[in-house]
Chains A and B, each alone.
Chain A
Amino acid sequence: MAAFSLAVKSREGDGKRGARRVRREGFVPAVLYGPETAPITLSVPAHELSLLLKKGASYHTPIELKIEGNGASTKRVLIREARYHPVWGDLLHIDFYLIPTKRPLQVSIPLKLLGVPAGVADGGVMQCPTRRLLVLCSADRIPEVIEVDVSGVGKGHSLHASDVKLPEGVRCVERTDVTIVTVLMPKEEEKKPEEVAAAAPAEGAPAEGAAAAPAEGEAKAGAEAKPAATGKAAGKAAGKGPEKAPAKGAEKPAEKAAAKPAGKGKG
Chain B
Amino acid sequence: MLQPSRTKYRYYHRAKARGIAKGGTDLSFGAYGLKALEGGWVSDRQIEAGRVALIREVGKTGKLWIRVFPDMPRTKKPLETRMGKGKGGIEGWYACVKRGRILFEIEGLAPDAAAAAMRLAASKLPVKTRLVTRTDQL
Q: Which residues of A contact B (CB under 8 A)?
A: 53, 58-59, 79, 82, 84-87, 89, 125, 127, 129, 186-187, 189-190, 222-224, 243-251, 253, 256, 263-264, 266-267
Q: Give, as a whole number of angstroms, the nearest-CB distance from B90 to chain A.
A: 4
Q: State whether A190 touches B78 (Cβ < 8 A).
A: no
Q: State whether A244 touches B78 (Cβ < 8 A).
A: yes
> DSSP class of B's interface residues: helix, strand, loop or mixed?
loop
Q: Closest B residue to A253 by CB, please name it.
A: B89
Contacts of A246 in B (CB 8 A): 78, 88-89
Interfacial residues of chain B within 70-99, with CB under 8 A of chain A in the complex: 73, 76, 78-82, 84-86, 88-92, 99
Q: State whether B79 touches A243 (Cβ < 8 A).
A: yes
Q: State whether B99 touches A86 (Cβ < 8 A).
A: yes
Q: State whether B108 touches A264 (Cβ < 8 A).
A: no
Contacts of A253 in B (CB 8 A): 89
Given A87-B35, A250-B10: A264 and B78 interface contact (C-beta under 8 Å): yes
Q: State whether A89 touches B137 (Cβ < 8 A).
A: yes
Q: Give, as a whole number of angstroms, the nearest-CB distance from A97 to chain B.
A: 14
Q: Which of B3, B73, B86, B88 contacts A263 (CB 8 A)?
A: B86
Q: How large is the interface on B (under 10, 10 to 19, 20 to 34, 35 or more residues)?
A: 35 or more
Contacts of A89 in B (CB 8 A): 132, 136-137
Q: Considering the chains assembled together, what is the distance between the CA atoms of A186 and B60 in angstroms? A: 6
Contacts of B136 in A (CB 8 A): 89
Q: State whether B63 touches A82 (Cβ < 8 A).
A: no
Q: State whether A125 touches B61 (Cβ < 8 A).
A: yes
Interfacial residues of chain B within 31-72, with CB under 8 A of chain A in the complex: 35, 37, 55, 60-63
Q: State whether B138 touches A82 (Cβ < 8 A).
A: yes
Q: State whether A125 touches B84 (Cβ < 8 A).
A: no
Q: State whether B81 touches A86 (Cβ < 8 A).
A: no
Contacts of B20 in A (CB 8 A): 86-87
Q: State whether B138 touches A79 (Cβ < 8 A).
A: yes
Q: State whether A249 touches B90 (Cβ < 8 A).
A: yes
Contacts of A251 in B (CB 8 A): 6-7, 10, 90
Q: State whether B89 touches A249 (Cβ < 8 A).
A: yes
Q: Considering the chains assembled together, what is the distance between the CA atoms of A87 and B99 in angstroms? A: 6
Q: Give, as a whole number of angstroms, the nearest-CB distance from B75 to chain A.
A: 9
Given A125-B60, A244-B78, A264-B78: A82 and B137 interface contact (C-beta under 8 Å): yes
